[in-house]
Amino acid sequence: MSCTVDARVDLSVDIAGVKLKNPVMVASGTFGFGTEYAAYMDVSRLGAIVTKGLTLQPRTGNPPPRIWETPAGMLNSIGLQNPGIDAYLEHHLPALRAFKVPVIANVCGDTVKEYAEIARRLECHEGADAIEVNISCPNVERGGIAFGSDPRSAVAVVEAVKRATSLPVIVKLTPNVTDIAEIARACEGAGADALSLVNTLLGMAIDIYRMRPALGNVFGGLSGPAIRPVAVRMVWQVREAVDLPLIGMGGIASFEDALEFILAGASAVAVGSGTFADPACAIRVIDGIGQYMANNGFERVSHMVGLAHKCR
Amino acid sequence: MSCTVDARVDLSVDIAGVKLKNPVMVASGTFGFGTEYAAYMDVSRLGAIVTKGLTLQPRTGNPPPRIWETPAGMLNSIGLQNPGIDAYLEHHLPALRAFKVPVIANVCGDTVKEYAEIARRLECHEGADAIEVNISCPNVERGGIAFGSDPRSAVAVVEAVKRATSLPVIVKLTPNVTDIAEIARACEGAGADALSLVNTLLGMAIDIYRMRPALGNVFGGLSGPAIRPVAVRMVWQVREAVDLPLIGMGGIASFEDALEFILAGASAVAVGSGTFADPACAIRVIDGIGQYMANNGFERVSHMVGLAHKCR
Amino acid sequence: MHLEAQILEMHAITNDVYSMTLQCPGVADSAQPGQFVHVAVAQPGSTDPLLRRPLSICDADRSKGTVELVFRIVGRGTRLLAGRQASERIDLMGPIGTGFRRPRPGRVPLVVAGGIGIAPLHFLCRALLSVGVSPYVIAGFSTRSDMILVDRLVRYGAKVQVITEDGSFGLAGKVTEYIERAAQEINSHSHGEVELYACGPLGMINSVREWCLETGVFGQVSLESRMACGTGACLGCVLRVITASGEERYERVCVDGPVFDVRRIVTC
Amino acid sequence: MHLEAQILEMHAITNDVYSMTLQCPGVADSAQPGQFVHVAVAQPGSTDPLLRRPLSICDADRSKGTVELVFRIVGRGTRLLAGRQASERIDLMGPIGTGFRRPRPGRVPLVVAGGIGIAPLHFLCRALLSVGVSPYVIAGFSTRSDMILVDRLVRYGAKVQVITEDGSFGLAGKVTEYIERAAQEINSHSHGEVELYACGPLGMINSVREWCLETGVFGQVSLESRMACGTGACLGCVLRVITASGEERYERVCVDGPVFDVRRIVTC
Ligand SMILES: Cc1cc2nc3c(=O)[nH]c(=O)nc-3n(C[C@H](O)[C@H](O)[C@H](O)COP(=O)(O)OP(=O)(O)OC[C@H]3O[C@@H](n4cnc5c(N)ncnc54)[C@H](O)[C@@H]3O)c2cc1C
Ligand SMILES: Cc1cc2nc3c(=O)[nH]c(=O)nc-3n(C[C@H](O)[C@H](O)[C@H](O)COP(=O)(O)OP(=O)(O)OC[C@H]3O[C@@H](n4cnc5c(N)ncnc54)[C@H](O)[C@@H]3O)c2cc1C
Ligand SMILES: Cc1cc2nc3c(=O)[nH]c(=O)nc-3n(C[C@H](O)[C@H](O)[C@H](O)COP(=O)(O)O)c2cc1C
Ligand SMILES: Cc1cc2nc3c(=O)[nH]c(=O)nc-3n(C[C@H](O)[C@H](O)[C@H](O)COP(=O)(O)O)c2cc1C
Ligand code: FES
Ligand code: FES
pLDDT (tens digit per residue) in A79-106: 999 999 999 999 999 999 999 999 999 9
Q: From the list B71, B210, B230, which residue is nearest A222 (CB)?
A: B230
Q: Does C45 touch chain A (CB under 8 A)?
A: no
A contact residues 247-276, partner B, Cβ 8 Å cutoff: 251, 253, 256, 259-260, 263-264
Contact A71 B224 (CB under 8 A): yes
pLDDT in tens, D13-64: 999 999 999 999 999 999 999 999 999 999 888 999 999 999 999 999 999 9
pLDDT in tens, C112-131: 999 999 999 999 999 999 99
**Is the pLDDT at A3 greater than 70, yes or no?**
no
| Mean pLDDT to the nearest integer, C222-234 | 97
Q: Tell me, what's the pLDDT at B141?
A: 76
CB of A51 closer than 8 Å to CB of A105: yes
Q: Tell me, what's the pLDDT at A1?
A: 42
Mean pLDDT of chain A: 95
pTM equals 0.96
Tell me how far CA of residue B72 lies from CA of A252, B303, C53, in angstroms: 14, 31, 15
Mean pLDDT of chain D: 94
Q: Tell me, what's the pLDDT at B29?
A: 97
| Mean pLDDT to the nearest integer, C211-230 | 96
CB of B272 closer than 8 Å to CB of B252: yes
Q: Tell me, what's the pLDDT at B222?
A: 97
Check residue B211 and give left, alpha or beta (phi > 0: left; psi -120 to 50: alpha): left
The ipTM estimated for the assembled molecules is 0.95
Query: Which protein residue's CA is at the shortest distance from atom 5 of ligand 4?
Result: B29
Cis ω on the peptide bond leading into residue D258 (within 30° of 0)?
Answer: yes
Beta bridge partners, B212, equal B207
Q: How many residues does chain C have?
A: 268
Distance CA D30, CA D123 (A): 13
Q: Tell me, what's the pLDDT at A312?
A: 53
**Is the pLDDT at A311 greater than 80, yes or no?**
no
Beta bridge partners, C12, equal C18
Contact C80 D45 (CB under 8 A): yes
Check pocket membership of D230 for ligand 2, CB cut-off 6 A: no
Q: Which amino acid is at B155?
A: V
pLDDT in tens, B56-97: 999 999 999 999 999 999 999 999 999 999 999 999 999 999
pLDDT in tens, C38-63: 999 998 889 999 999 999 999 999 99
pLDDT band at residue A12 using 50, 70 and 90 as cut-offs: very high
Q: Tell me, what's the pLDDT at A2?
A: 44
Q: From the list D1, D49, D249, which residue is nearest A60 (CB)?
A: D249
Please report the domains of chain A, with CATH numbers, ordered by start residue. Answer: 13-61+80-208+222-310 (3.20.20.70)
φ, ψ dihedrals at B135, nearest 5°: -100, 20
CB atoms within 10 A of CB D129: 15
Instruction: State the alpha helices, DSSP H only, in chain C.
Output: 25-30, 76-82, 118-130, 150-156, 179-190, 202-215
**Is the pLDDT at C210 greater than 60, yes or no?**
yes
CB of B247 closer than 8 Å to CB of C73: no
Look at C185 and B272; give whichever has higher pLDDT.
Answer: B272
Catalytic residue annotation of A: 137
Instruction: State the alpha helices, DSSP H only, in chain A.
Output: 85-87, 93-97, 112-124, 151-164, 180-189, 228-241, 255-264, 274-277, 281-296, 307-310
How buried is residue C23: exposed, middle or buried, by Cβ count under 10 Å (0-12/13-18/19+)? middle
Mean pLDDT of chain B: 95
Query: Which protein residue's CA is at the shortest distance from atom 50 of ligand 1?
Result: C55
pLDDT in tens, C127-161: 999 999 999 999 999 999 999 999 999 999 999 99
Q: Tell me, what's the pLDDT at A6?
A: 62
How buried is residue A215: exposed, middle or buried, by Cβ count under 10 Å (0-12/13-18/19+)? buried
Q: Tell me, what's the pLDDT at B312?
A: 53
Which residues have C-beta within 8 Å of that of residue C182, sequence separation ≥ 6? C110, C136, C138, C161
**Is the pLDDT at B19 greater than 60, yes or no?**
yes
Q: Tell me, what's the pLDDT at D189?
A: 79
Q: Tell me, what's the pLDDT at C267?
A: 65
Distance CA A234, CA A253 (A): 18
**Is the pLDDT at D121 greater than 70, yes or no?**
yes
Please report the domains of chain C, with CATH numbers, ordered by start residue. Answer: 2-96 (2.40.30.10), 107-267 (3.40.50.80)
pLDDT in tens, D131-163: 999 999 999 999 999 999 999 999 999 999 999
Q: B59 CA to chain C: closest CA distance, Å? A: 10
pLDDT band at residue A210 using 50, 70 and 90 as cut-offs: very high
Q: A215 CA to chain D: closest CA distance, Å? A: 11
Q: In what order do the strands lie in the sheet with C218-222?
A: C171-172, C159-164, C136-141, C108-114, C194-199, C218-222, C259-261
**Is the pLDDT at A39 greater than 50, yes or no?**
yes
Contact C50 B224 (CB under 8 A): yes
CB of C221 closer than 8 Å to CB of C199: yes
**Is the pLDDT at B5 greater than 60, yes or no?**
no
Output the CA angle B48-B51-B53, nearest 5 degrees: 145
**Is the pLDDT at C187 greater than 90, yes or no?**
no
Instruction: Say if strands A206-207 and A212-213 run parallel, antiparallel, or are unpaired.
Output: antiparallel
Residues with CB under 6 A from ligand 1: B 69; C 36, 53-56, 70-72, 74-78, 116, 119, 224-227, 258
Distance CA A162, CA A45 (A): 30
**Is the pLDDT at B3 greater than 60, yes or no?**
no
Concatenated DSSP letters of A17-42:
TEEESSSEEE-TTSSTTSSTTTTTS-
Q: How far from chain centre, in Å, is Cα C87? A: 26
Q: Specify the ligand 4 atom closest to the Cα of B172.
A: 11
Q: Tell me, what's the pLDDT at B1?
A: 42
Quick one: closest CA in D to C79, which residue?
A: D45
pLDDT band at residue D82 using 50, 70 and 90 as cut-offs: very high
Interface test with A, best of B233, B252, B259, B291 (most A CBs within 10 A): B233
Distance CA D263, CA D215 (A): 12
Cis ω on the peptide bond leading into residue B151 (within 30° of 0)?
Answer: no
